[in-house]
């Protein structure tokens, strides 16, 4: 991979990382200033953005060759895919109030409680809300709808980086 392609890959990795930081900052704004407490599935999606952002940050700092770029991109696609799956499931949960109420006491909630991630970073990873519909939406999409959208966009960005590294 040429030096200019490596530079472009580093910049795209950095952009992906900054987008994740911005999305997490917006989640904190909604939580702490708008009073929208996250639910367990919100925390799972936040963890997805943390993972995607960290993969992108390491890729940007490392500035690997073509093979390393493909490895980071593959990891990023997998992490973004997992985040998109969580976002899609959350959208599905919120489409029915009865289904959404089953979020409380779910295996996801039990796992988060067992891992005690809320104690690690309480302002970001502590959940207090149910998975029911929230009053916030933008352009017709709820918070998990936007989360799903961004995971897809970030996954596509990682795919583009990988394809550029192949040339």
Per-residue pLDDT at 150:
96
Q: What is the rounded CA–CA span in Å between residue 109 and residue 40?
A: 6
Confidence of residue 137 (pLDDT cuts 50, 70, 90): low
124-132 mean pLDDT: 74
Per-residue pLDDT at 141:
80
- Look at 130 and 40; give whichever has higher pLDDT: 40
Q: What is the rounded CA–CA span in Å between residue 55 and residue 154?
A: 12
Q: What is the rounded CA–CA span in Å between residue 84 and residue 1?
A: 30
Q: Structure pTM?
A: 0.87
Q: For the range 137-142, what are the long-range contacts, defined as Cβ-Cβ under 8 Å and sequence gap of 24 or more?
A: 142/91, 142/94
Q: What is the DSSP letter of 63?
A: -
The answer to whether the CB of 103 falls within 8 A of the CB of 41 is yes
Per-residue pLDDT at 140:
75
Q: Which of 64-68, 71-75, 83-87, 138-142 has the lowest mean pLDDT?
A: 138-142
pLDDT in tens, 97-110: 777 777 776 777 77
Q: What is the rounded CA–CA span in Å between residue 109 and residue 87?
A: 15
- What are the domain boundaries of the chain? 3-166
- Mean pLDDT is highest, among 67-76, 91-100, 113-122, 125-134, for 67-76
Confidence of residue 4 (pLDDT cuts 50, 70, 90): low
Percent helix / strand / coil, the chain, rounded to 5: 75, 0, 20
Per-residue pLDDT at 85:
96
**103 phi and psi angles, rounded to 5 deg:** -65, -35
Per-residue pLDDT at 88:
93
The whole-angstrom distance between residue 137's C-alpha and the CA centroid of its chain comes to: 18
DSSP lists the bridge partners of residue 138 as 141
| Tokens (6 digits) for 161 | 């980086």
Q: What is the CATH number of domain 3-166?
A: 1.20.1550.10
């Amino acid at each position: 991979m040429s030096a200019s392609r490596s530079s472009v890959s580093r910049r795209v990795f950095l952009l992906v990382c900054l987008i994740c930081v911005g999305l997490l900052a917006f989640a904190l704004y909604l939580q702490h200033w708008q009073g929208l407490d996250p639910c367990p599935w919100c925390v799972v999606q936040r963890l997805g953005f943390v993972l995607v952002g960290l993969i992108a940050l390491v890729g940007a700092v490392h500035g690997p060759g073509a093979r390393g770029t493909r490895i980071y991109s593959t990891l990023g696609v997998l992490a973004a895919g997992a985040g998109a799956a969580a976002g899609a499931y959350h959208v599905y949960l919120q489409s029915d109030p009865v289904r959404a109420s089953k979020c409380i006491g779910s295996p996801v909630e039990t796992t988060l409680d067992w891992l005690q991630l809320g104690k690690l970073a309480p302002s970001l990873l502590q959940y207090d809300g149910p998975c029911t519909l929230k009053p916030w939406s933008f352009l017709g999409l709820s918070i998990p709808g936007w989360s799903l959208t961004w995971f897809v966009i970030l996954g596509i960005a990682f795919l583009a980086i990988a394809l550029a590294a192949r040339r």
